[in-house]
Amino acid sequence: MRKRALFDPLRRPAFRRLATTYAVNELGDWMGIIALSLLVFDRTDSALATAGLFLGTRFLPALAAPILVTHGERSPPRFALPVIYCGEAAAFGALALLAGSFSLAGVIVVATIDGALALTGRSLTRAVVAALLEPTGELRAGNALLNIAFTGGAALGPGLAGLVVAGFGVQIALLLDAVSFYVIAWILLTAGPLPQAEPEPGRMRDRVRAGVAYLREKVILRRLLIAQGAAFVFFAAVIPVEVIYAKQTLGTSDSGYGLMLASWGVGMVLGSLLFAAVRKAPLAYLLLFSTLAVGAGYLGLAAAPTLALACVASVVGGAGNGVQWVSAISAVQELTAQGMQARVMSVLESIGAAMPGVGFAIGGLIATVASPRATFLFAGAGVFVIVALVAPALGSNWPEGLAAPDSNELDGGNEIVLELIPGGSSAQSDLEVEP
């Protein structure tokens, strides 16, 4: 059997289009986040209003996304995904109009709708990728490539968005973001049939209940989702105080603050490359050590006396960040039956959107009562506590969790990787490989 290479998924036309839209989507997300943040703060001069914006774009959509995904998974993804992205384009068009005639309530309402559509689109995209690549054992490689696109967008997106906003203004930035979503919709609409895991028949309410029952039944999967949600609280606790930490605690300038954030972004890119290089490594170990690396980065920032050492700690934490999220996604996908992929991924995406809000509040409170260093210390220690509590619960049963009864051996080589075989894949042409 030919040894599978990292870039094998790119030989599939459907995956190339999905990966392209994923990268463009990440850049567009950063454009929207920065443009809207600047718009709301400039027009209101209120940190509370900006916090309301983030609540609308993250926490509230997390409540709606699982329902939207359950509804959207019944439609062919070739049409469902373009409709979702056209909805996002229309939302950003409306936000561009609101930038000229500002209304805080209107901005938050439209941004909340866009946030729900964004979570739904990402969940369905991940389900399509799993249906496309899991049967041939290329899911880990595909996730590694998507992760490189994601971290690359996270590293380049903020700088690009800042340049666009500074050069052309918030309204043009929002219009460009709308155009990017129309481009994504066109790429997917012209992609041809995309593989789809057929959900069980029944009304939407019944399928929601089936998803809840599935998570109750899959103990390891449920524990993993809970652990990831708890980790997100500590991961996000430092975000509201980073600028205060850099400028007041370290006494650096705006450029120093930017350098510290850039160091974290560099670490994320390195982490994504590391995941790609060691994609045959057991996911349990990747999750363990990457989570610990994030915690170590936070503890290093808590103790760093200078900007230089803070940047070193940021690279360490960013590298862990670049491995941790994609490892969690891959583990959830491998533990989930094909027919439940979209619903379970919507739960993971919703956790990733909602739980940071709890972290924001806790981190800000600790910094107010104590100091920014105390927030970093709390976050780092909390990550280590989660690992200490969860690793025993997952570790002993992890191989059993991946080797589901209906799984099949997919990967050759020294390591045996067991993954679920989807039933009822549509359109054989979706799985064809270009020569």
Mean pLDDT within 19-38: 82
CA 322 to CA 309: how far, in whole Å?
A: 20
Answer with the residue of higher pLDDT: 297 or 401.
297
Instruction: Indicate the pLDDT class of residue 65, thresholds 50, 70 and 90.
Output: confident
Quick check: 50 pLDDT over 80? Answer: no
Contact (CB, 8 A) for 269 and 320: no
The string of DSSP codes covering 259-319 is: HHHHHHHHHHHHHHHHHHHTTTS-HHHHHHHHHHHHHHHHHHHHH--SHHHHHHHHHHHHH
In CATH terms, 1-196 corresponds, of 3.90.1170.50, 3.10.20.90, 1.20.1250.20, 3.10.450.30, to 1.20.1250.20
Contact (CB, 8 A) for 187 and 125: no
Can you give the pTM of this predicted structure? 0.72
Q: What is the pLDDT of residue 344?
A: 85
Quick check: 419 pLDDT over 70? Answer: no
Quick check: 425 pLDDT over 60? Answer: no
Q: What is the pLDDT of residue 414?
A: 33
Mean pLDDT within 135-142: 85
Quick check: 293 pLDDT over 50? Answer: yes
Quick check: 399 pLDDT over 60? Answer: no
Q: What is the pLDDT of residue 191?
A: 85
Instruction: Indicate the pLDDT class of residue 91, thresholds 50, 70 and 90.
Output: very high
Q: For the segment 316-375, what is each residue's pLDDT rounded down to a tens digit?
A: 999 999 899 888 988 888 888 877 877 888 888 888 878 887 888 888 888 888 888 999
Q: Which two tokens stand for residue 69?
A: 């995904």
The SS3 assignment for 200 reads: coil
Average pLDDT of the chain is: 80
DSSP H or E segment with residue 420: strand 418-420
Mean pLDDT within 381-394: 88
Mean pLDDT within 239-253: 83
Question: Are 1-196 and 213-407 the same fold in CATH?
Answer: yes
- The count of C-alpha atoms lying within 13 angstroms of the C-alpha of 196, restricted to the half-sphere facing its C-beta, is 18
Q: For 222, list phi and psi in degrees, rounded to 5.
A: -65, -45
In CATH terms, 213-407 corresponds, of 2.40.128.120, 3.10.580.10, 1.20.1250.20, 3.40.640.10, to 1.20.1250.20
Domain ranges of the chain: 1-196, 213-407
CA 362 to CA 384: how far, in whole Å?
A: 17
Answer with the residue of higher pLDDT: 97 or 35.
97
Polymer length in residues for the chain = 435
Count the helix, strand and coil residues of the chain and give each as a percent rounded to the nearest 5.
Answer: 80, 0, 20
Q: What is the pLDDT of residue 165?
A: 81
Quick check: 74 pLDDT over 80? Answer: no
Specify the range with the lowest mean pLDDT, choosing from 49-58, 183-192, 224-233. Answer: 49-58
Instruction: Indicate the pLDDT class of residue 198, thresholds 50, 70 and 90.
Output: low
% of the chain exceeding 90 in pLDDT: 24
CA 328 to CA 307: how far, in whole Å?
A: 31
Specify the range with the lowest mean pLDDT, choosing from 99-108, 127-136, 201-210. Answer: 201-210
Instruction: Indicate the pLDDT class of residue 200, thresholds 50, 70 and 90.
Output: low
Q: For 252, list phi and psi in degrees, rounded to 5.
A: -95, 180
Residue type at 421 in one-letter notation: I
Q: What is the pLDDT of residue 199?
A: 58
What are the CA-CA distances from residue 185 to residues 14, 23, 60, 288 (Å)? 14, 13, 24, 37
Q: Any idea what DSSP says for residue 413?
A: S
Mean pLDDT within 92-114: 90
